[in-house]
Amino acid sequence: MTNQNILLKFTAKNDFRFHLEHICKNGNYLYATDGAICVRMADDGSEPTPLQGDVHTEKLSKYIDDWLEKESENQNLSPLVFDVPRRVECLNCDEDGLIHEGDRCYTCGDCDGSKLVYPERAQSLCGKNFQTKYIAKLSKLPNIKFGLSQNCGRDGMAYFTFDGGQGVLMHTGRTAYC
Ligand SMILES: [Zn+2]
């Protein structure tokens, strides 16, 4: 799997903001975010460069770089253990994983079009709740390590690293989520 293939899993779906829907490049790095999770990987030049971003991309990448710079000293990370036994049928979308509203048709954000959702929508890790769909995606990354942010200044934000990249994830901000 290429870096860009990995990053595409973390871009926003059905969001009209360019910098959230696309992988963006700034300097030597590629970035993906949907607003709740941000992932950065090096651009090794082995794939065609994605679309150059706009002014928001530049701002966003500086923001993420700043976070990751501070967190790079964070030694308090552990391998991410995730054990979800099952997924259930999504009730929000049709057989294609699509939602139809009048003339508009878009990919279901709950299941990303897979038609399957995790019944437990949040996972408790390090004493905070994080959306299961993100933890599931992160658990597939090679050598994923995860812990609470030490330096981001936002209570309960997580910091993670994996082979070839790193990122931050917002918690759900709730003690219970269903
Ligand atoms: Zn769905």
User: What's residue 178's pLDDT?
Assistant: 34
User: What residue has token string 């294609």?
Assistant: 96
In 3-state terms, what secondary structure has residue 43? coil
CA of 106 to the centre of ligand 1 (A): 10
The helix (H) or strand (E) run that includes residue 39 is strand 37-42
CA of 112 to the centre of ligand 1 (A): 6
User: What's residue 176's pLDDT?
Assistant: 42
User: What's residue 108's pLDDT?
Assistant: 86
CA of 101 to the centre of ligand 1 (A): 14
Per-residue pLDDT 10s for the chain (178 aa) are: 888 889 989 988 777 777 777 888 888 889 898 888 999 999 888 777 666 666 677 787 888 888 888 888 888 899 998 887 789 999 888 878 888 888 888 888 788 888 999 888 888 888 888 999 899 999 999 999 999 988 776 667 899 999 999 999 988 865 443 3
CB 161 within 8 A of CB 150: no
CA of 107 to the centre of ligand 1 (A): 8
User: What residue has token string 């308090």?
Assistant: 76
User: What's residue 45's pLDDT?
Assistant: 80
Q: For residue 158, list its beta bridge partners.
A: 148, 169
CA of 159 to the centre of ligand 1 (A): 28
For every residue of 119-152, which 3-state class applies, written as one string?
A: CCCEEEECCEEEEHHHHHHHHCCCCCEEEECCCC
User: What's residue 173's pLDDT?
Assistant: 67
CA dihedral over 68, 71, 74, 78, signed as positive or negative: negative
CA of 151 to the centre of ligand 1 (A): 35
User: What's residue 51's pLDDT?
Assistant: 61
User: What residue has token string 């897979």?
Assistant: 114
